Amino acid sequence: MAVVTTLSFDYSIPDLIVGKVDVSDPYQNYNSKGNPTSYGVDMDFHEMHLSKVLKSSEFHVLRSKIEDTLRTWETKYQRHIDKVHKENRAEHVDELNNEAKEGLESLNNILVHTLSVDDTVDWDGIKRKDAFRIKPVKLFKNGKKPDFIIFNSFGRPTEFEKISPPIEPTFEKVKNDYGLFSKLFRGKAIKEDFDTRIKKWGQQKEQSNNENADRASLFNQAVTSFQIKKKKFEEEKQRDNETLENIKSRYKENDPGAIEEYCDLVLNNSQYPDCFPQNWVLEYKADSRIAVVEYDLPAPDQLPTVESYKYIKSRDEISEKILTQASRKKLYNSTIYQICIRTLHELFEADVINALDAVAFNGLVTNINPATGMKETKLIMSIVANKDQFTAFDLSQVDPKATFKHMKGVAAISLVDLTPIPPIIQLDKSDKRFISGRNVVGNLDDSVNLAAMHWDDFEHLIRELFEKEFVSNGGEVKVTQASSDGGVDAIAFDPDPIRGGKIVIQAKRYTNVVGVAAVRDLYGTVMNEGATKGILVTTSDYGKDSYGFAKDKPITLLNGSNLLSLLEKHGHKARINIAEAKKIMKV
């Protein structure tokens, strides 16, 4: 187990997936007003195409969520390895066929499966009960375990092997080493030999005593290290369990943060097939008593495609019978609708304090667009379910798609086409990158050369300027963590139901022409963010290739002249002098 330390908690990565999983440092999430709401961690297992965003209002609860996810991923990876092994061996054809059959059946029974499960959170069941275990090498600074120390199955040092002391020589034994003649006539030589052996024995005895003392010291150090680490582990376990008790108490008191955490635990306890992303972002809106879930759905190519296996003796290989395109389409549509209805059911059934009047479910799919080769995230289904209406349904008898349509859910005719649709509930504006903006526009006048402005100030200027542009329509603009690296500098949220949505804004305080690479990067960011539009603002201008690339794409390019006009529109003046800026910055 590889032990990783981030900020103030440790977590262990199972040996099977060490080096294969990336876990980010914890970060702070903020709400639309810029106030901190929760902590988050991003996890990726690229080889298995798995990713997860963990979130908790309690910092130390993240550790348990990380551990749970890592254990789940370890199990999935072991099953993947076993399956690959079986696919290469003829004698496993029957097992592969059983697994294929079970896999398809599990997809057809996604909704039915949850109806026999109590979805309420078992607080005692999710508390940490794990015993402290450690690899013996972790008890030593040099990472090496001495062979003479014995450890139990928990990694605790129990005893150490002592070096046996040398046998003390006796005069009679030394004398017996000599023949009769020597015994009669070489008494002095025998006595000297005896004295030499006694001296050597004394040295060996002292050496063995010293080595045993060193072994005892190292053993005691290992015991102390074990005890210290175990104490820290038990303290962390107690703290984590106390945190859960605190959440439980606050949940019973209708605390919004605890309700959100509770709903997250409900979804975390839901078991799905290995091919599912099982990733979501959940927000509880206390004013409207609605839980909004943005749920990552599997892409069409993530679902099983093999109907059965057959061993071809003449070629000594296992062949696959692939599901027909029509069957795959039907399976995908059925699976996605079941996930939606199942998630609504789980949240409503677990709502023991009646904190939820409704649940909004937005289903997202991330995949590679075959036309562009770029990864895109699209919202393909959206629904708001009323609890009183939904809980009256007999889900054991429903057609999930019909239930979705009955509750006025929005989705394309065929989900497998991944046609994007607007969400019914307004976009969640929380973003871990948001920081507080600061006033820059108010300090502008004719003396300020925007092209020579510090890049950090320029990004805040753009955020403030576009906030003035969008605020009249009820929109909002948030500035992201400053980076100067050409990433997302601001996010705008336009509530207009037709032309609005999420807008990515990038600021380029350049003294040279902006190349087409920057415009391509912006387009990629727009796709990756699931935004409706991208705006690139610069103090300079764009080349012919840049304008050509942006044509017919949801991208707006604003040059220096456009920027000055926009400032003037909102009652502010500044200037742009590229030559002067180059001299100041020695470009």
pLDDT tens for residues 56-102?
Answer: 877 777 777 888 888 888 888 888 887 776 665 666 777 777 777 77
Residue 483 has pLDDT above 70, yes or no: no
Residues of the domain holding 389: 92-115+270-432
The pLDDT assigned to 392 comes to: 95
Residue keyed to tokens 């017996």: 176
Short-list 569, 315, 381, CA closest to 466:
569
- Answer yes or no: is 55 within a domain: yes
Q: pLDDT at residue 569 above 50?
A: yes
Mean pLDDT, rounded, for 250-269: 93
Q: Do residue 439 and residue 391 come from a single domain?
A: no
CA angle 99, 105, 109 (to 5 degrees): 140
Tokens describing residue 295: 């749920």
Residue 10 shares a structural domain with residue 99? no
Q: Distances from the Cα of 527 to the Cαs of 98, 293, 377, 520, in angstroms?
A: 39, 21, 7, 11
Under the banding of pLDDT at 50, 70 and 90, the label for residue 291 is very high
Q: Please tell me the least confidently modeled range out of 69-73, 406-410, 569-573.
A: 569-573
**Lowest mean per-residue pLDDT among 98-102, 344-348, 531-535:** 98-102
List the single range of 201-215, 448-462, 548-562 with lowest mean pLDDT.
448-462
Shared-domain flag, residues 409 and 276: yes
User: Which is higher by pLDDT, 468 or 200?
Assistant: 200
Residues with Cβ within 8 Å of residue 214, at least 6 apart in sequence = none
We report the CATH number of the domain holding residue 463 as 3.40.1350.10
Asked whether the predicted pLDDT for residue 489 surpasses 60, the reply is yes
With respect to residue 467, please indicate whether it lies within any of the assigned structural domains.
yes
User: What sign has the CA pseudo-torsion 134, 139, 145, 149?
Assistant: negative
Residue 357 — very low, low, confident or very high, per pLDDT cuts 50/70/90?
very high
For residue 181, what pLDDT band results from cuts at 50, 70 and 90?
low
Looking at residue 3, what is its pLDDT?
A: 43
At residue 31, the 3 state secondary structure works out as coil
One domain, residues 47 and 100: no
10 in any annotated domain: yes
The verdict on 428 and 294 lying in the same domain is yes
| 237 φ, ψ (degrees, to nearest 5) | -65, -45
- Asked if residue 369 is part of any domain, the answer here is yes
Residue ending a domain, choose from 432, 462, 491: 432
In a domain, 257, yes or no: no
pLDDT at residue number 497: 60
Measured CA to CA in angstroms, residue 568 lies from 144, 242, 348, 476 at distances of 69, 57, 52, 20
Answer whether residue 6 shows pLDDT above 50.
no
Question: In angstroms, rounded to a whole number, what is the distance separating the alpha carbons of residues 383 and 390?
Answer: 12
What pLDDT does 435 receive? 45
- pLDDT score, position 587: 52
Final residue before a domain boundary, out of 88, 107, 125: 88
Q: Confidence band (pLDDT; 50, 70, 90) for 182?
A: low
pLDDT interval class at 4 (50, 70, 90): very low
- Looking at the predicted structure, is the pLDDT value of residue 226 above 90? yes
The per-residue b/e assignment along 357-378, b for 16 or more CB within 10 angstroms, e otherwise, is ebbbbbbbbbeeeeeeeeebeb
Shared domain check, 547 and 529: yes
Same domain? 420 vs 274: yes
**pLDDT tens readout for residues 358-406:** 999 999 998 888 777 877 888 899 999 999 999 999 999 999 999 999 9
Decide if 340 contacts 272 (C-beta within 8 A): no
Q: Do both 107 and 167 map to the same domain?
A: no
- 491-525 residue pLDDT tens: 887 766 666 678 888 888 888 888 888 888 888 88
Continuous segment of H or E residues that includes residue 494 = strand 490-494
471: tokens are: 């605020």
Residues 301 and 428 in one domain: yes
Q: Could you tell me if 458 and 450 are in contact, meaning their C-beta atoms sit under 8 angstroms apart? A: yes
Which amino acid is it at 565? S
Phi–psi pair at 311, nearest 5 degrees: -90, 125
Does residue 128 belong to any structural domain of this protein?
no
* Residue 125 located in a structural domain: no
If one compares 347 and 462, the residue with the highest pLDDT of the two is 347
**Position 418 in a domain:** yes
Q: Give the pLDDT confidence score for residue 475 in this predicted structure.
A: 66
The answer to whether residues 487 and 555 belong to one domain is yes
Domain shared by 328 and 442, yes or no: no
Helices of type H across 395-498: 400-406, 455-471
Q: What is the DSSP letter of 169?
A: P
In whole angstroms, what separates CA 465 from the centre of its chain?
Answer: 34
Which residues neighbour 44 within 8 Å (Cβ) at sequence distance 6 or greater?
A: 21, 22, 50, 51
Asked whether residue 336 carries a pLDDT value surpassing 60, the answer given is: yes
Both 402 and 443 in a single domain?
no
Among 404, 432, 460, residue at a domain's last position? 432
What domain count does the chain have?
4
